[in-house]
């Protein structure tokens, strides 16, 4: 039976994903295939390879090669106060609710290298809420988590981040929360102390219970519909009654299995509140 190259490449990709799952217990089968193919193609180009099957022996026998592949699969564009209107809306519509709570539990799922979690902590600090908040920031990429825990970033884009901070409703200066040295900036301990970074895989790991707020932005777009619904159910089960859920600007609860369980707080910024 004749097959064209794209059909053969699909078979190779399926075998590659099977090998990864059996060897390392990471399941990428329910990732959106178009995005997955682009990322695999990027890895192949970087490694000077042509076909997905050529990655299999490297990933099976070399943990460093697998970690490199894992990093490529989880690359995300993030920076301090990215999408400032999102943080401004949190400040205006969610924070006033939290001011009435004795304690706040927040899960930031898919935190990548941590900039967004630190941005949230700065927002809460300025509203006098950080001391009664606990932020659990999770990701499945251990390399990204290492960067997040250190809280050290390039100072190259500090002016852009400062501008975004102001647009997000910042009331001081972003530089008051970081130490700049040798072309890098380090997040101050007063911001880091209430954040716990830890490993969690949305595909296979369980509930983070009793959360008042869950933020997972620009992660679901890489999942197929079945995995999106699985993840949204995980979030719903992890929220307290009337808890808040925040998704990315290209993501939505519309047409999901959980659409009727949430009310919209901000359509544009994809902020929802559980109605049960």
3-state secondary structure of 133: strand
Question: pLDDT band for position 171 (50/70/90)?
Answer: very high
CA distance 64 to 206: 27
Strand partners, 185: 153, 180
CA distance 270 to 232: 13
Decide if 204 is inside a domain. yes
Q: Are residues 253 and 126 in the same domain?
A: yes
pLDDT of residue 4: 79
Q: Give per-residue pLDDT as tens, 13-34.
A: 999 999 999 999 999 999 988 8
Question: pLDDT band for position 166 (50/70/90)?
Answer: very high
The tally of domains found in the chain comes to 2
CA distance 245 to 233: 12
Q: Are residues 54 and 98 in the same domain?
A: no
pLDDT of residue 157: 84
Q: Are residues 117 and 18 in the same domain?
A: no
The rounded percent of the chain whose pLDDT value lies above 70 is 99
In this prediction the pTM is 0.91
CA distance 254 to 270: 10
pLDDT of residue 206: 87
Decide if 213 is inside a domain. yes
Decide if 250 is inside a domain. yes
Decide if 182 is inside a domain. no
Residue 31 is part of which domain span? 5-73
Bridging pattern class, strands 104-109 and 195-199: unpaired
Q: Are residues 119 and 14 in the same domain?
A: no
Q: Are residues 137 and 28 in the same domain?
A: no
Q: Are residues 205 and 237 in the same domain?
A: yes
């Amino acid at each position: 039976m004749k097959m064209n190259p794209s059909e053969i490449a699909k078979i190779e990709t399926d075998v590659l994903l099977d090998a990864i799952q059996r060897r390392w217990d990471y399941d990428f089968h329910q990732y959106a295939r178009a995005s997955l193919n682009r990322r695999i193609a990027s890895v192949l180009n970087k490694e000077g390879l042509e076909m997905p099957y050529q990655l299999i022996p490297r990933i099976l026998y070399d943990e460093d090669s697998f970690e490199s592949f894992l990093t490529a699969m989880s690359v995300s564009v993030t920076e301090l106060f990215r999408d400032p209107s999102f943080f401004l809306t949190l400040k205006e519509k969610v924070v006033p609710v939290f001011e009435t709570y004795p304690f706040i539990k927040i899960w930031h799922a898919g935190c990548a290298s941590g900039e967004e979690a630190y941005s949230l902590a700065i927002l809460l600090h300025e509203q006098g809420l950080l001391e009664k908040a606990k932020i659990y920031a999770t990701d499945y990429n251990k390399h990204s988590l290492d960067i997040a825990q250190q809280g050290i970033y390039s100072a190259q884009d500090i002016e852009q981040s400062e501008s975004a901070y102001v647009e997000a409703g910042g009331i001081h200066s972003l530089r008051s929360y970081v130490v700049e040295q040798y072309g890098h900036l380090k997040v101050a301990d007063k911001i880091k102390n209430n954040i716990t970074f830890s490993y969690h895989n949305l595909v296979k790991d369980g509930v983070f219970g009793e959360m008042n707020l869950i933020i997972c932005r620009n992660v679901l777009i890489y999942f197929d519909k079945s995995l999106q619904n699985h993840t949204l159910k995980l979030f719903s089960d992890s929220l307290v009654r009337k808890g808040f859920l925040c998704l990315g600007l290209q993501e939505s609860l519309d047409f999901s299995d959980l659409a009727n369980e949430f009310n919209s707080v901000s359509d544009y910024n994809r902020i929802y509140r559980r109605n049960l």
